[in-house]
Copies of this chain bind each other. A is one copy, B any other.
Amino acid sequence: MKGVRFHKPHTLVTKYFKRFCSISSTYVSNSYEKVLRGSGISDSVREAQYAVRGEVPTRALQLEEELKHNSQKPYDHIIFCNVGNPQSLANPPVTYVRQVLALCDFPELLNSSLFPADAKEHARRILKSAGKGGSGAYSNSGGVSCIREDVVDFIQRRDGYESSVNNIFLTNGASDGISLIMKLLVSSSSTGVMVPVPEYPLYSALLCLLGAKPVRYYLNEDRNWSIELSELEKAYEISKKSGITISGIVLISPGNPTGQVLEKSNLEEIIDFAYRRRLVILADEVYQENVYTKEKKFVSVKKVLRDMPGKYQDVELASFHSASKGFFGECGRRGGYLEVANFSEEALEQLYKLASINLCANLNGQIAMSCITRHPKKGMPSYSRFEEERSNLLSSYARRADMIQTAMNSMEGCSCNQVEGAMYAFPRISIPLSAQQVARSQGKQPDVFYALSLLEYSGVCVVPGSGFGQKPGTFHFRTTILPPEEDFPKVMTSFQKHHEWFLNKYQG
A residues near B (Cβ < 8 Å) are: 1, 4, 6-10, 12, 14, 16-17, 20, 23-24, 27, 29-43, 45-46, 48, 50, 52-53, 83, 85-90, 93, 98-99, 101-103, 105-106, 108-109, 112, 114, 130-139, 141, 152-153, 156, 160-162, 172-173, 175-176, 179, 183-188, 202, 205-206, 209, 211, 229, 247-248, 264-265, 268, 272, 275-276, 278-280, 305-316, 324, 329-334, 342-344, 346-347, 350, 353-354, 356-365
User: How many copies are assembled?
Assistant: 2
Q: How far is the CA of A12 from the CA of B161 in the complex (A)?
A: 11
Distance (whole angstroms) from the CB of A200 to the closest CB of chain B? 11
Question: Do A90 and B172 have beta carbons less than 8 Å apart?
Answer: no
Question: Do A356 and B50 have beta carbons less than 8 Å apart?
Answer: yes
Question: Do A10 and B313 have beta carbons less than 8 Å apart?
Answer: yes
Which residue of B has the minimal Cβ distance to A39?
Answer: B187
Instruction: Please indicate the chain B residues that have their CB under 8 angstroms from the CB of A87 in the complex.
Output: 132-134, 136-137
Question: Do A331 and B136 have beta carbons less than 8 Å apart?
Answer: yes
Assuming A6-B161, A362-B365, what are 14 further A-B pairs, CB within 8 angstroms? Answer: A14-B308, A23-B272, A31-B314, A32-B311, A36-B344, A48-B357, A85-B137, A87-B132, A87-B136, A105-B105, A112-B114, A136-B330, A172-B358, A175-B357
Q: How far is the CA of A350 from the CA of B50 in the complex (A)?
A: 11
Which residue of B has the minimal Cβ distance to A307?
Answer: B12
Instruction: Please indicate the chain B residues that have their CB under 8 angstroms from the CB of A29 in the complex.
Output: 275-276, 278
Q: How far is the CA of A12 from the CA of B305 in the complex (A)?
A: 11
From the candidates B160, B272, B365, name the one contacting A24 in the complex (CB within 8 A).
Answer: B272
Task: Return 18 A-B CB contacts under 8 Å, by A number.
Answer: A14-B309, A17-B308, A36-B347, A45-B353, A48-B357, A83-B359, A86-B133, A88-B137, A93-B136, A130-B332, A136-B332, A137-B332, A139-B332, A172-B362, A209-B357, A332-B364, A334-B363, A362-B365
